[in-house]
Structures are given as structure tokens and as C-alpha cells.
Structure 1
Amino acid sequence: MNHTDVLIAGSGPTGLTLACHLALRGFAVRVVERRTEPHRESRGKGLRAGSLAIFQELGMAEPLIAVGTAGVVLRKYFDGEHINDTPTPADAGLLIGQWQIEGALRDRLASLGVHVEYGAELVGITQDEEGVRAELADGSVIAARYLAGCDGGRSTTRKLLGIPFEGNGEAEPAMVIGDVRAPGLGRDVWHQWFTSEGGGMLLCPIPGTDSFQLQASPEHDERGEPVAPSLESFQRIFDRCARVPGIRLEDPTWISSWRVNVRMATRIRQGRVLLAGDAAHVHPIAGGLGMNTGIEDAAALGRALSAALAGPDADVALDAYEAERLSVAAGVLADTAERYERVVEAVRTPGRGTEVGLD
């Protein structure tokens, strides 16, 4: 059986930040990931100042600052007409794709001698006073002093522990999303098209690439049912909202949809197993707080686990982590729900856009 100090399930920004924190302090850490390889999806695309400060402490902020963009300009259109340009607030942080953030974290982790173990799916958890036994789908078992579930909103870790994920969510998608190229469209601003009929499309240039992150209101068919996202659907929405002839969207490297979910775990510690990031809480995207809250969870959990591994008062440190981050999560859920409602209302007025969610 393989032994380690901390086993981390999930190799997103939360899990990788935690792994770097622990490895930098000399603890043995392993990271298992159900995916068979890294993704290249823009997803959460903004780093707040708090996250950048954490990355500075980990010694890997500079590559991100070199690639990312600060001070993005939001270009607002209404019914196809350019209305105004609005700079993002000075403290809005850094625009950069999530896959780029994860790449920098993996590089830093590799420099500390740790590599993500892909194709490793967690299927069972048992624990006692001495540690945790994690069973993987291939039948292997990893023994660890602690297990951190950083495996996303559909967390296997949380489900195996039977921890309730309370809150509410919408059955239908609020947005279709993806990464596409749009040759001929300017890349110096974040384009935001809205219409008097309702709905809209946003195309945000991802720094260091030739792609845009697309966010749009979903299409509906003749029965009023949402149309599954596709490149063809993206193009129809673009033509209806942007009304810019000659621009053809192409090369989709990510196509998905997003639903409003406001949920949090009733507890984020169960013995020697702890949750962080989306495994512990999910909420609206307004304000760009999701990934950043997970990174802050990871830093807090890293401090707690370091104290637990090094000292006699493990329960005190881990209980304090749970109390602190559950309180933070509850506040973020309420805050982002309110920000999302502000954005939904604001975009009905010409010249207003997602900046109201950053205030």
C-alpha cells in the first residue's frame, strides 16, 4: 500500500494550490485526477488580488502576470449598436484562462517533485484514528494521514462521505459557454452584446491565445426547450445579437452550458477528510469569485493541515478551518446571488454590462 501525508482528489486550481502549499513546506503529497489528461478550457478566467498574493507566496505568480491582462475594457453594444466602453475596476484582478493557471501550478508542483496522477478515480474511502484509506477504480489503495476532496461541484469525495449539498438550482441552463476563435474580431476589448428582445452574447479574448471565451443566452426551439450548445448554435446567437456580418466563429475547443446553482456542504470536515473549493460550495459566476474562493480555501486548508501534521493540536486546527471557510462560503453564496441578480437586471439597459457584478 502506498503511503503519503496528504492525498488530494482533484487537480483544479484548488487541489493544485493546496498541493503546492504542502509540498513547499516539505510534506509528502499526492494528487489524483479522474481525467486522463489536463483540459484546455478557459472556465474561471479571472484572478483576484488575494489569489495573486497566494501565488506570490508559492513562487509562481510571475508567469501568470506575464501572460494575463489587467485593466480589461468592456465594450457594450445594444441591438447591434456600440454604446460605450467601460474599464473594469482597478481591483478587478488579472484576466487569464483557467487552463493557463492550472498549467503554471502544475509546473510549480513539478519543481517540488510532485506530478498529477491522471486516470486515477476515487471510488472508496475508509478512515480510522490513524489515517485514511482511499480506494481507486483500478483496485489500488493509497494510505494517507489526511484526504482533501478538491474534486469539484459533483465531488466524489463529498458523495462518498454522504455529506449533504444543500441549496437550490435551476434545471435549465442560464447560459451556453465555450472557447472559440473569431477571426476578424478585435481582441483589445471584451465584447458584450445585448438586445431589447432579451438575451445576449459575450466574447472575451483570452490572453496568450487567439481564442475568445463565449458566454450567451441559450437558444430555444419551437417548443420552448433549450437548444443544446454547438458551434452552429453559437453562430446563430452571434448573428442575432451582434449583427456583425463576415465574422464566423470557428475551432470550438470547449462547448458547455451553465446552470444557476447556489449550494454548500453542511460540513467540510469528516474526521481526517476535508473539502475545499467547489466540492464545498457552488454559486453564481457574477463577480468571478468561484475559482478565487477555492484558491483561498486551499491556502487556509494548507495552513490547517500543516499545523495538524506538525503539531499535537490537529483537531483544533482542522475545526478552525471548517468554521472559517463555512462562514466565508455562506457569505460568498449570498453575495454572488445578489451580484448575479444585479447583472441580469443591468443588461436590459443600453450601455450596462457585467461590470455591475464587480462592484
Structure 2
Amino acid sequence: MHTDVLIAGAGPTGLVLACDLARRGVAFRLVEQAGQLFPGARGKGLQPRTQEVLHDLGVLDAVHAAGSRYPLMLTWEDGTPGQEWDLMERHPAEDGVPWPEVWMIPQWRTQEILHARLLELGGQVEFGTAVTAVRQDAAGVEVELAGPGGTVTATAGYLVAADGGRSTVRRAVGIPMAGESVDPTPALVADVRITGLERDHWHIWPKAPGGPALLCPMPGGGPTDFQLFAQCAEGEPDTAPAAVRQLVADRTHLPAEAVAGVGWASAFRPTAALADRFRLGRVFLAGDAAHVHSPAGGQGLNTSVQDAYNLGWKLGRVLRHGADPALLDTYELERLPVAADVLEISTSLHRAGGVSSGTRRGPRTEQLGVGYRGGPLTAEHRTGLAEDALQAGDRAPDTACTTPDGAVHRLFDVLRGPHPTLVVAGAALPDVPRPPAGVPAVRVADGYGEGYLLIRPDGYIGLATADPADLAPYLAALGTA
């Protein structure tokens, strides 16, 4: 009953972390209180940076096949459609950003794809198993698990709370979470089957009686699947199927009979909350257990995936490569400031009116600009760089690269996997130095300036230097001899 890492919660955060640990050869257990994967469409937008993570994990093709671009918006009033408009700033694919558009896919389908990948990697989810108590000391964590066979005690080197905004683990270890109401108006979100409404647009009724209503067509399911979002100015939203049908009839030009079915439904009050810390001893918080967002801007799921991606490689380096356990301290130091910034983005978008306001989504929400300049793992030794130049701490953009044997590849394909990567940029530099085993080395001609750049396993530039002698100490800190 002992494992290196115990993960509580098999949502997107827990599944991404489990997939990452599995490919690194780290022993783990993934437990989920529910008897199945989450069934709803809730977190439906995958930002460009998240798609890069999913490419690294080997599931992006499946995600693209199951999803679609975001549709244009269409506003209705008095049963009459108005002019269509675009919520997204559209960008063509370019050398550094191969997947520039937010991709729409219901959360349940994203989780199915990640779960299938986890099974391929030899992992599994223990469904119907809940964490009920946590104790820890300097040597490890002891967890009580209530499952199909009763209550058992399990031990682990580390415990990761990926069990949502009401995290049992966070409360068990006593980490406070400070929050505020983003909007006092309660809201309803539901998965519905609609007939008589075309699926080429995201439909909005901003002046509907009782509050705005939105119906967004969902890919990956039946031909009449939509996600309903409605603000409810009067009273608490009723999630019963009959009440959802009546809400659609009251807010739109569709009759109640047009709602052919109601699936997952939830009532909530938009809230922003941030845990005081993301680590306490051997326990880490990730995803909604660490930060809770308004749905505006599609930031919650994406920030959660980035948490898992940041933590996974660090656990792998400590547990499989002998890196100093102090490397794990950098998880909170890097991710807590990012979560705080992203919370401000989602809160400001919601208070500006959310989707109904017409505020377009662009670089601010795509998370390509998230980075760790000045962070504990960032070492920029070059001088005289412009502020907008690519630097240590920044996301490593995609580009053409050449391996020592002369073969040409895409850098993102070389980065795929659990390893760091050495990039040699600039024609004036000598030949690529021989890196340690397990560290691929490539040369690039464009986009990286000049120098030796070590790309961390999560795709960020850790070290940038003009002196190859700086490489060995940095790699040693990552557990690479």
C-alpha cells in the first residue's frame, strides 16, 4: 500500500499529472471519489499553451479530432437573430505557435482521452475511493482511503491534492483559502439536447427576462448537444430537468419541448479563491484545490493543467534522477504567482460582462505569455538583451531545428518526452557540446537569438548563456549528471 506519489482526484489536473508521472517511471496511485469520470462539458476551452502540453503527452491529435474551433457568436432579441460576431482573436499558425486558436472540446471528452492515454502508459484510476484523513511527517504521508473494500491506510512519499475547490486534502492539512464573490448573481450551467437550433453559432440572449442565457454547440457528442449557461437574477437556479426546460422556454424563442434531454447540471455563484500556499510538507495543492476561477475567459482548467505539468517533471527529477528535494520548493514559488495573475484576468473579464459583453479573447487569455522570468530555476547569463527578446524563464517557441546528424525536425517534436533539451542558437557559436545521456541537443537558426539554452522538461527556458561551462552545473541541479 506504499507508493511514491498519491494523487487525489481524477479530473484534468490529476489525469495530466498521472500521465506525466507514468511516462517518467514514477510509482503513483490515482484515486477518485466518484464512481466515474466527470460527465459534464464544463471546462470546454483549451488554450494554445495547454494544447502544447497535450502534444507533449501524446494526445493532441485525439483532442483535435474530437473538438472544433469556437463558433461565431449570434445575438438574439425578441426571437430575431442579430449580427454575428467573433469572441476570439483569430491568428494563423506560425513558426513559433503551431496551435494558435482556443480549441473547443467538452471536459468529459478531454478526460476520456487523458484516461485512455493513462491506460496506455500502464496507469489506472481507482474509482469510488476517497481520501478521508491525512497525516504526514518528515518521512512521508499516511492517508486513509475509503473505497469499495472499506477503509484502508496507504502511505506515500508525496500527496497531491487535485480534488477540486472543496478539497478534502487541503482542509485536512489546514491550508487556508481566501476567496471573494465575483458576482452575487447565481448561475446555472447544464448540458442539454436541443432541437430546432442551428449549430453553426454560439447563441446569446443578453436581454432575456430573468438574466442572460447562452447556448453553445458542443462537439464530440450527439448532433443536438449544447451547453447552457444562464444567470438567474431572482432565486436560486433549479437544476431539475423540468426547470431547465422551462428556463430555456422563458429565456429564448425556443419552446420547452425543444429541450430533448438534460444531462449534467449545476448551480453556482462565481467565486475567485486562492490558497495561501501550494505546498505544506509533503502535500501539494494543484488545480481547483489551489485556485478557483470564474468561468470567464476559460482559465481554470488550463491553469490547472499547467500546475500538473510544472509539478510532474520536478517529482520525476527528484524521485527518479536524484535531484535535490529542494527542487520541489520551486513548484509553489512558480505557480502561486501565476495563479494569482490568472485569477485577476478571469475575475476582470467576468465583471466586465463575460461573453455577453463582447470583449474579445486574445493573448491575455491564451497563456502563451506565462513564464518564470526571475524565478528560482531561471538563469539568464547573457547581457545586453532587449526586454522583448526571448529570455530564460520564457516559454520555448516552436521552430525548425537540426540534430547533430544533420536531420531537420520541429523543436516541439524533439521536446516531447520527460527530458530537458539543449538548444544551440546562433551561427557564431561553435559546434554543439556533448550533453549528458538523455539530453537531446539541437541547433536552431531563427527565433532564439544567440547562446546555449537549456529547455526544461515542461518547455520553458531554464538557462540561457554564452558560456557552455554553465551547462553542467544547471543540469546537475536537475539530477542530470
Alignment of 1:167-182 (within 5 A): 167-169=179-181, 174-182=186-194
Structure index of larger Rg: 2
Equivalents in 2 of 1:241, 1:354: separation in Å?
Answer: 22
Equivalents in 1 of 2:226, 2:259: separation in Å?
Answer: 10
**Which residue does 2:77 correspond to in 1?**
78
Task: Point out where structure 2 has 5 or more consecutive residues left out of the alignment.
Answer: 91-99, 366-481
Task: Point out where structure 1 has 5 or more consecutive residues left out of the alignment.
Answer: none
TM-score, normalised on structure 2? 0.69
More off after superposition, 332-341 vs 135-144 = 135-144
TM-aligned CA distance change 1:103 to 1:284, over 3 Å: same
After superposition, the CA RMSD in angstroms is 2.1
Report the alpha carbon displacement of residue 198 of structure 1 after superposing the two structures with TM. 6.1
Give me the identity figure in percent.
39
Q: Does 1:136 align with 2:142?
A: no
Report the alpha carbon displacement of residue 233 of structure 1 after superposing the two structures with TM. 2.6
CA contact (8 A) 2:249 2:256 kept: no
Report the alpha carbon displacement of residue 252 of structure 1 after superposing the two structures with TM. 0.9
Q: What secondary structure does 1:208 align onto?
A: coil
Q: What secondary structure does 2:110 align onto?
A: helix
Report the alpha carbon displacement of residue 219 of structure 1 after superposing the two structures with TM. 6.3
**Which residue does 1:303 correspond to in 2?**
313
Q: Which protein has the bigger helix share?
A: 1
Report the alpha carbon displacement of residue 196 of structure 1 after superposing the two structures with TM. 6.7
CA contact (8 A) 1:80 1:241 kept: no
**Which residue does 2:353 correspond to in 1?**
343
Q: Does 1:216 align with 2:216?
A: no
Identify the match of residue 329 of structure 1 among 332, 339, 358: 339
AA matched with 1:305: L
More off after superposition, 183-192 vs 56-65 = 183-192
Alignment: residue pair count: 349
Report the alpha carbon displacement of residue 227 of structure 1 after superposing the two structures with TM. 4.2
AA matched with 2:294: P
Equivalents in 1 of 2:172, 2:196: separation in Å?
Answer: 49
Q: Does 1:61 align with 2:60?
A: yes
Report the alpha carbon displacement of residue 354 of structure 1 after superposing the two structures with TM. 6.5
Identify the match of residue 216 of structure 2 among 204, 213, 220: 204
Report the alpha carbon displacement of residue 48 of structure 1 after superposing the two structures with TM. 0.7
Report the alpha carbon displacement of residue 92 of structure 1 after superposing the two structures with TM. 4.4
AA matched with 2:272: V
**Which residue does 2:197 correspond to in 1?**
185
Equivalents in 2 of 1:247, 1:219: separation in Å?
Answer: 24
Q: What secondary structure does 1:140 align onto?
A: strand
CA contact (8 A) 1:76 1:353 kept: no
**Which residue does 1:248 correspond to in 2?**
258
AA matched with 1:32: V
TM-aligned CA distance change 1:241 to 1:354, over 3 Å: farther
Report the alpha carbon displacement of residue 135 of structure 1 after superposing the two structures with TM. 1.1
CA contact (8 A) 2:106 2:220 kept: no
TM-score, normalised on structure 1? 0.91
**Which residue does 1:279 correspond to in 2?**
289
Equivalents in 2 of 1:171, 1:72: separation in Å?
Answer: 26
Q: Which has the higher contact order (CA 8 A, sep 6+)?
A: 1
Q: Render the CA deviation track for 1:189-236: whole Å, top value 9, x for unaligned.
A: 11111117561211111102121111012263xxxx324233333233
CA contact (8 A) 2:25 2:320 kept: no
Equivalents in 1 of 2:125, 2:290: separation in Å?
Answer: 21
CA contact (8 A) 1:71 1:89 kept: no
CA contact (8 A) 1:145 1:272 kept: yes
Identify the match of residue 268 of structure 2 among 255, 258, 265: 258
Q: What secondary structure does 2:352 align onto?
A: helix
CA contact (8 A) 1:177 1:255 kept: yes
Report the alpha carbon displacement of residue 262 of structure 1 after superposing the two structures with TM. 1.0
TM-aligned CA distance change 1:157 to 1:196, over 3 Å: closer
**Which residue does 1:237 correspond to in 2?**
247
**Which residue does 2:447 correspond to in 1?**
none
Q: Does 1:123 align with 2:154?
A: no
CA contact (8 A) 1:339 1:356 kept: no
More off after superposition, 138-147 vs 11-20 = 138-147
**Which residue does 2:460 correspond to in 1?**
none
Q: What secondary structure does 1:267 align onto?
A: coil
**Which residue does 2:404 correspond to in 1?**
none
TM-aligned CA distance change 1:245 to 1:34, over 3 Å: closer
Identify the match of residue 151 of structure 1 among 159, 163, 182: 163
